[in-house]
């Protein structure tokens, strides 16, 4: 018994000594990190939030003392910068390795950093390279080659196709709704996600899908020979399970029936892409016959394949089959979820702000004097639908941040959080990461008057800072599909608001008479972080206009 007591006492002493020594190591490590950043204030915690343990501790309260909570940047927006006094602050992590990450919301410094690719390159990002390297995941030099080949695929002819397909799909949705005076929707994403998916399928891949779902029609799509599921089922399953596929090891997808089905869908989609490449190359220019362009293959995929093959003819480096698949896939991700979620937020905001919705309706009617549907040629006149889309994306940016890497000790001139504060040089340490905080930038009062307010009028003239809106990123990495997304959003918003009023759904959301629109918005538009920022639950009613 005495031996056991002595053994326990010895182990307790050893444990105490180890704890003290380990605490001392962490203290010295912290001092070293703080010295490397010239003691810039910020969030100095123990665990890297992107590490496995950093994610595991998120379930405990007071996590801010151990790591940075997942939704910290959304919940605090610009307030952290105001607290620290500058439009930049540092995050330092000690485990599993020393790491410095700067958060920045200074538009001038961001612009400087984006254009200084030698000092602030974008590192390769393999997470989204599921089917192959692409314009998003490649490093700066490789991305130039991808952009040179990919950019011409997003042509004005393709934008017209986007408009036509969006109009067709929305019309099919209206037909499905029938003569009902009101359409109750438990979560508006159940409308915007399939809408965006069908547009990207038709205008992106040249494979139109009807609005009527398999379950509603009672008829399943035919499964082609050599496949185990239809194209529509494969692409819908991939989109629903993308987050799991990106974050989970491959063996995890074999644990449940649903995940095994998802794994099959990813394999099926790759097979479909392979067949698409082969069939389009076999077609050649046989469909390019109509001088009006109606029969041209105007979808992004056909344009991309033609541009890549033209590189061979010119003696330049064409995209490999893996790179073609990688870019097709990234278009699917970027063109589907991001547009769908911003469109959902836009409809939710219009329901919270009926006066703004009336302004939008009046504007649309002023453009469409006759009782008819809008056409692509009127897009530049339909300025308010685009303003609503921009304002929704400012308040709820689909991509929260964009990362850069610093290869040498340098400085950036940054404004103070006080709007009258002059810029001063801030040390940026070698081997650190700089995160361009889109949420904080979009709420920075230096660039946006009353940044918390929903005010589409701020985009109704040219007097706004283009460098302070990062919905579509910026610089060489700016989104190639920007006009694709804008065209889809303007067409969808115009057609929906022309036919229906968008209202709060009292069946699933408590409506408080006389409540201020912003208070309603804060209760209604809760968010969650999926692959992009998404509404957690957004119940609405579509009421047919008289």
* Distance, CA of 511 to CA of 489 (rounded, Å): 27
Average pLDDT on 19-44 reads 81
pLDDT of residue 531: 73
Average pLDDT on 22-49 reads 84
Phi/psi for 43 (5° steps) reads -100, 110
Alpha carbon 142 to its chain's center: 22
- Residue 388's contacts (CB-CB under 8 Å, 6 or more residues apart) are 346, 349, 350, 356, 360, 456, 493
Q: Report percent pLDDT > 70 for the chain.
A: 89
* Distance, CA of 442 to CA of 310 (rounded, Å): 40
Q: How many domains does the chain have?
A: 2
- Residue 325's contacts (CB-CB under 8 Å, 6 or more residues apart) are 131, 132, 270, 273, 274, 277
* Distance, CA of 421 to CA of 36 (rounded, Å): 25
Using DSSP's 3-state secondary structure scheme, residue 97 falls into coil
Report the 10 Å Cβ neighbour count for 131.
Answer: 22
Domain assignment present for residue 466? The answer is yes
Q: Do 200 and 304 have their domain in common? A: yes
DSSP tag of 318: P
Give the pLDDT band (50/70/90) at residue 289: very low
Name the region of 77 (left: φ>0; alpha: ψ -120 to 50; beta: rest).
Answer: left
Q: Do 160 and 47 have their domain in common? A: no
Question: How much is the mean pLDDT over the chain?
Answer: 86
Domain assignment present for residue 122? The answer is no
Q: Which regions of 424-531 does DSSP assign to beta strands (E)? A: 424-428, 433-437, 500-504, 527-529
CATH of the domain at 160: 1.10.630.10
pLDDT of residue 408: 95
Domain assignment present for residue 366? The answer is yes
Report the 10 Å Cβ neighbour count for 155.
Answer: 14
Q: Do 68 and 183 have their domain in common? A: no
CB contact burial 376-392 (16+ within 10 A = b; e otherwise): beebeebbbbbbbbbbb
Q: Where in the sequence is the domain holding 242, given as residue range(s)?
A: 140-544
Q: Do 91 and 144 have their domain in common? A: no
Using DSSP's 3-state secondary structure scheme, residue 3 falls into helix
Using DSSP's 3-state secondary structure scheme, residue 68 falls into coil
Q: Do 220 and 90 have their domain in common? A: no
Q: Do 181 and 251 have their domain in common? A: yes
Q: Do 168 and 256 have their domain in common? A: yes
Domain assignment present for residue 68? The answer is yes
Is a pLDDT exceeding 60 seen at residue 281? yes
Q: Do 479 and 379 have their domain in common? A: yes
Domain assignment present for residue 127? The answer is no
pLDDT of residue 238: 84
Burial class (CB in 10 A: 0-12, 13-18, 19+), 27: exposed
Q: How is residue 291 written in tokens?
A: 């001088």
Average pLDDT on 426-440 reads 95
CB 89 within 8 A of CB 41: yes
Q: Do 156 and 285 have their domain in common? A: yes
Domain assignment present for residue 327? The answer is yes
Q: How many residues does the chain have?
A: 546
Name the region of 198 (left: φ>0; alpha: ψ -120 to 50; beta: rest).
Answer: alpha
Domain assignment present for residue 528? The answer is yes
Q: Do 93 and 175 have their domain in common? A: no
Ligand-binding annotation for 406, yes or no, is no
Is a pLDDT exceeding 90 seen at residue 125? no
Q: Do 398 and 457 have their domain in common? A: yes
Place of tokens 């709420």: 443
CB 529 within 8 A of CB 489: no
Q: Do 60 and 190 have their domain in common? A: no
């Amino acid at each position: 018994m005495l031996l056991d007591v002595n053994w326990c006492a010895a182990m307790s002493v050893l444990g105490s000594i180890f704890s003290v020594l380990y605490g001392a190591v962490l203290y010295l490590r912290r001092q070293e990190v703080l010295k490397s950043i010239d003691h810039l204030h910020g969030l100095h915690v123990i665990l890297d939030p992107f590490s496995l343990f950093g994610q595991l501790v998120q379930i405990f309260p007071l996590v801010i003392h151990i790591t940075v909570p997942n939704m910290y940047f959304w919940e605090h927006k610009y307030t952290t910068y105001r607290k620290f006094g500058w439009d930049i602050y540092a995050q330092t992590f000690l485990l599993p390795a020393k790491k410095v990450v700067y958060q920045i919301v200074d538009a001038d410094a961001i612009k400087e950093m984006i254009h200084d690719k030698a000092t602030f390159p974008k590192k390769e990002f393999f997470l989204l390279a599921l089917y192959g390297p692409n314009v998003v995941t490649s490093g700066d030099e490789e991305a130039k080659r991808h952009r040179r080949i990919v950019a011409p695929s997003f042509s004005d002819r393709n934008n017209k196709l986007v408009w036509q397909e969006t109009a067709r799909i929305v019309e099919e949705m209206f037909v499905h709704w029938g003569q009902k005076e009101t359409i109750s929707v438990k979560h508006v994403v159940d409308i915007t996600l399939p809408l965006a998916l069908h547009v990207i399928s038709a205008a992106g891949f040249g494979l139109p899908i009807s609005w009527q779902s398999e379950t509603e029609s009672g008829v399943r799509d035919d499964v082609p020979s050599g496949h185990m599921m239809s194209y529509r089922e494969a692409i819908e399953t991939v989109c629903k399970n993308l987050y799991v596929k990106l974050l989970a090891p491959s063996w995890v997808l074999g644990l449940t029936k649903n995940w095994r089905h998802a794994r099959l869908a990813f394999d099926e989609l790759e097979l479909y892409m392979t067949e698409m490449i082969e069939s389009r190359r076999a077609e050649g220019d046989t469909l390019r016959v109509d001088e009006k362009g109606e029969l041209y293959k105007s979808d992004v995929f056909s344009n991309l394949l033609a541009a890549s093959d033209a590189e061979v003819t010119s003696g330049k480096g064409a995209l490999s089959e893996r790179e073609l698949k990688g870019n097709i896939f990234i278009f699917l991700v970027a063109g589907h979820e991001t547009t769908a979620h911003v469109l959902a937020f836009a409809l939710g905001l219009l329901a919270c702000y009926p006066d703004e919705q009336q302004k939008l309706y009046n504007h649309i009617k002023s453009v469409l004097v006759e009782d008819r549907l809008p056409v692509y040629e009127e897009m530049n006149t339909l300025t308010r639908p685009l303003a609503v889309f921009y304002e929704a994306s400012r308040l709820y940016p689909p991509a929260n941040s964009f990362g850069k890497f610093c290869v040498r000790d340098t400085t950036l001139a940054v404004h103070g959080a006080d709007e009258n504060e002059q810029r001063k040089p801030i040390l940026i340490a070698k081997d650190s990461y700089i995160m361009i905080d889109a949420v904080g930038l979009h709420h920075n009062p230096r660039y946006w008057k009353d940044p918390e307010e929903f005010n589409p009028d701020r985009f109704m003239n040219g007097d706004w800072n283009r460098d302070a809106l990062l919905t579509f990123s910026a610089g060489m990495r700016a989104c190639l599909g920007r006009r694709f997304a804008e065209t889809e959003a303007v067409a969808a918003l115009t057609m929906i608001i022309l036919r229906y009023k968008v209202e709060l759904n009292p069946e699933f959301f408590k409506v408080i008479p006389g409540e201020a629109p912003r208070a309603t918005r804060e209760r209604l538009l809760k968010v969650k972080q999926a692959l992009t920022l998404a509404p957690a639950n957004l119940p609405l009613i579509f009421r047919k206009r008289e």
